[in-house]
Structure 1
């Protein structure tokens, strides 16, 4: 109960952001210096000093460099920093995870070494999740909005805080926009609401209406990391869908799963039924306009001679796009994985895309970074670029995307995409295909929806791949998968 003065009850503890994330004091090298930018909510400047050509600031969120000679500003988030080094005593080199390099020069070697020490204390793998800047930002931003602070109470910040609340709205909006028929062909399964079906999948999944939740659990047991086939996109005209999953756990003994086979068959039949329903509705629409339908346009009758309407169009085989090479897929059988034995899946065909795994891409990116750090006028620079194989890997991703787009757009076939685990090469192919097929995703809002669904909701391992989450010390798990995809988007654009 509330107090007589309207205050909260004594048992209700209200914790302010300053109690969770106390403000930190700033250390200045010069008392006359002022912070040259507006801090974000929850951001505190730790050190403020001078370079030989401007001002350098280190906060709980970023490094900010202001150069007087060029009047340029550089802001580097701490999570983007991969390494630091000193060159020629006076130059501090900041190497970033996106292959960019930032250089600061100081008047003395002691000052350069001190700034190296300061920054090293603030970067690296965080010990706890709460130490990531997103948490103090959200906490201070929430307090500012509740207290109606003019400093941060703007529509832009308010929009950022409301993103999490819009996840379900985005999902339902996409279901409606893409024309999924939830009254016959498809259904939304909520069996993963507590993430017990698959911890790395979203809470709501689109599946054929004939597939029950119990069947989904059986399929999840047969797929790597329980990442079962789930539909993510539908072609509005043909009804063909794009689905994604992980590899089947076939193993050396060639295990099979009848429910998994039924699910893939249900995907192809659902798309055929979807097309048939569209044709029937179009026929009805034409008929209501007063135009007489010809026998060839009429809805076909059932095979037993009755006059019951049959809305099933020709069933197209599901195209399974395996991002790996055939040799790699077979090798994975030794670890309990593998690929679909096509004789068990008469309603599907499989194609292998021969894309490199995270270790291949990591080596290619390291070679590319070394090349970018070399002088621009070095001999045979383009030849050295070719030897990194970075562009070849992008070409392979684009070829896989074209395979998906051709099957969907030209042939009207449903496509199922997977690699080994379904969270690296799979989102690259699926997201790029949707960019090419659907102009909505080429808008700012659509691109946000695409990234949040294919990369966040479906569990790309950002923490391990980028090394900015607790427990992400394993260097063998690092790989610029998302950065590679952004480069591919840039190349298409």
Structure 2
């Protein structure tokens, strides 16, 4: 066997640790001035058996390349390792514990198992972490009863067991707290540390005029206005807007004054054949007194008139009707059907964020087979 060629092939794919070991091999061989050196230099034509030292060193290199013991996870441009913990156990609720090593970068948590036929790798972008908690204390007994648990926004709960004698939990916990919540620790978000160079300027990926032209605007029924060029009309809308062709600047301004934060109905999507549209808007400022705005009503009718194949407009209000009615007390409200002719108001009954959060909590419980007791996750295995 040509061990020299085999050694070169392995070292060509190795990392910096492998290169260091390579240098060590050459140094030891040079210092020893043994027959090994002359055999290596003629290995392509020699069939002599290498020394035991050669085999041990090369086996060590091979183990380093294949065992996955490198402490460096794959890194993105600008990503840096902040902390590493060895001999960590991932407590998988499905396939059982997996020993490995864990690292925390300024972007992610990375775990790689060591004792599995099929290697287990877990990557968690720290932006998806909602909470980090320590599990167990100095008096904890039992294997893997001492460690860290991550609560993620994507419904995952990940628990890692640490050995108390290694004192690795504290460093990992602190690094997770810092880089999962960078603004609370005066640390730059990774998005601003990411240094990959792209061939295209990301700020130009969305070009509003090109997108409107793709939908066939301007045309006979829809035109483009730059009335919001300085974002004076609506600070949350783009500078270029598609509005009904019959809407004058005066109608647009008056309608914007009657909408929450100036968000008048503007074109979001246009079907190229049927001319059906989706427009988006905020709630009208009707209030308890039931105020009306003639220009807002006229503007809405122009949207209906823009589609010759339909003479009805469906207004989809995402809120429950009770919430919409309650908003009248705050000066908001909804479009009364007697004021907006040819329009039908439909409430989608999507509740507020607190109700949605509770719904997500229940979905998490049903989907992942967990039960909840006093706000604590318990594996239902």
Q: TM-score, normalized by length of structure 2?
A: 0.68
Matching residue within 251, 258, 263 for 1:222 = 258
Give CA-to-partner distance per residue, 1:265-290, whole Å, 9 cap, x none: 10011112xx5xxxxxxxxxxxxxxx
Contact 2:84 2:102 in 1 (8 A): yes
Larger RCO (CA within 8 A; separation ≥ 6)? 1
State the distance in 2 between where 1:345 and 1:128 align.
Answer: 51
Partner of 1:240: 276
How many residues matched? 284
Partner of 2:175: 118
Give CA-to-partner distance per residue, 1:216-273, whole Å, 9 cap, x none: 222222111222111111122221111111111100011111111111010011112x
State the distance in 1 between where 2:277 and 2:297 align.
Answer: 17
- Mark the structure with the bigger radius of gyration: 2
Q: In 2 relative to 1, CA 166–117 (structure 1 residues): closer, same or farther, beyond 3 Å? A: closer
Q: In 2 relative to 1, CA 183–234 (structure 1 residues): closer, same or farther, beyond 3 Å? A: closer
Contact 2:319 2:351 in 1 (8 A): yes
Partner of 2:196: 141
State the distance in 2 between where 1:129 and 1:328 align.
Answer: 38
State the distance in 1 between where 2:177 and 2:259 align.
Answer: 41
Partner of 2:160: 104
The within-5 A match list for 1:433-444 is none
Q: In 2 relative to 1, CA 79–225 (structure 1 residues): closer, same or farther, beyond 3 Å? A: same
Matching residue within 305, 325, 330 for 1:330 = 325
Partner of 1:431: none
The within-5 A match list for 1:80-229 is 80-89=128-137, 90-108=146-164, 110-124=167-181, 126=183, 131-137=188-194, 140-142=195-197, 157-159=198-200, 162-168=201-207, 171-180=208-217, 182-229=218-265
The within-5 A match list for 1:61-460 is 61-70=107-116, 71-89=119-137, 90-108=146-164, 110-124=167-181, 126=183, 131-137=188-194, 140-142=195-197, 157-159=198-200, 162-168=201-207, 171-180=208-217, 182-272=218-308, 316-370=311-365, 375=370
State the distance in 2 between where 1:141 and 1:330 align.
Answer: 50
Deviation at 1:320, TM superposition (A): 0.9
SS of 1:319's partner is strand
State the distance in 1 between where 2:347 and 2:209 align.
Answer: 33
Partner of 1:433: none
Give CA-to-partner distance per residue, 1:117-147, whole Å, 9 cap, x none: 221122226259982211121xx334xxxxx
State the distance in 2 between where 1:44 and 1:269 align.
Answer: 57
Q: In 2 relative to 1, CA 117–134 (structure 1 residues): closer, same or farther, beyond 3 Å? A: closer
SS of 1:207's partner is strand
State the distance in 1 between where 2:311 and 2:275 align.
Answer: 11
Give CA-to-partner distance per residue, 1:54-109, whole Å, 9 cap, x none: 22111111111111234121111111111112334523111111111222222226
State the distance in 2 between where 1:48 and 1:63 align.
Answer: 10
State the distance in 1 between where 2:257 and 2:341 align.
Answer: 21
SS of 1:271's partner is coil
State the distance in 1 between where 2:264 and 2:71 align.
Answer: 51
Partner of 2:13: none
State the distance in 2 between where 1:221 and 1:265 align.
Answer: 17
Contact 1:99 1:372 in 2 (8 A): no
SS of 2:311's partner is coil
Structure with the bigger percentage of helix? 1
CA RMSD in angstroms comes to 2.6
Matching residue within 70, 73, 77 for 1:37 = 73
Q: TM-score, normalized by length of structure 1?
A: 0.53
Structure with the bigger percentage of strand? 2
Q: In 2 relative to 1, CA 325–234 (structure 1 residues): closer, same or farther, beyond 3 Å? A: same
State the distance in 1 between where 2:209 and 2:329 align.
Answer: 40
